[in-house]
Amino acid sequence: MRTPFRLSMLWRCAPAVSLVASLVSTVPAHAQTVAAAPAPAEAAGCPAILQHTFPRLQDEKPQSLCQYSGKVVLVVNTASFCGFTPQYKGLESLDMKYRSRGLVVLGFPSNDFAQESGSNKEIADFCESTFGVKFPMFAKSSVRGTDANPLFKQLAQASGTTPKWNFYKYLIGRDGKVVQAWSSMTAPDENGFVSVIEKQLGPN
């Protein structure tokens, strides 16, 4: 059954920094950690940060992140019942606009902040039917703390910051190095954010 988009629940993810900080300190992680396997033989020319395999959200078939080697990769932890959930629309627009230039957006649903309770299929159906999400998304996992999936552990180490809430954003350059991280408050169409992405993509 498709999980409905309940706008009445959006207040639970109010963007006020003080509310976010207090919630993060008290809400335990509930997501089931996805054990990522090392990427296969293609890893020879693949940056270390992409040498992981995760189940695809829609059908849980294993997907090597090495397939995105050489691209500019935007990694985002997502949730269906959050005040920032409408950012899905902006992320999809970003992916579509810059895909031909080498950008790919990768979504990682997580229940770490108790706002992603559905199954992988329910999440996939919700994202597609509500926001038309087509960019790659992966099975629900933890993105912070000791149970964080290995990609997010590397992102935290490289950037010096872990997700404090849903829709944190990490940009990986074509060379596999983490360029920058942004908080949930950064909208996908924010000028400063987009300009960093465009710089990494290079001339049109």
Q: Catalytic amino acids?
A: 82
Cα(39)–Cα(111) distance, rounded to whole angstroms? 25
Q: Which two tokens mark 26?
A: 């008290």
Rounded to 10°, the helix 87-98/120-131 angle is: 80
In the block, residue with structure tokens 């950690």: 33
Count of Cβ atoms closer than 10 Å to residue 22 Cβ: 11
Extended strands (E) in 66-172: 72-78, 103-109, 169-172
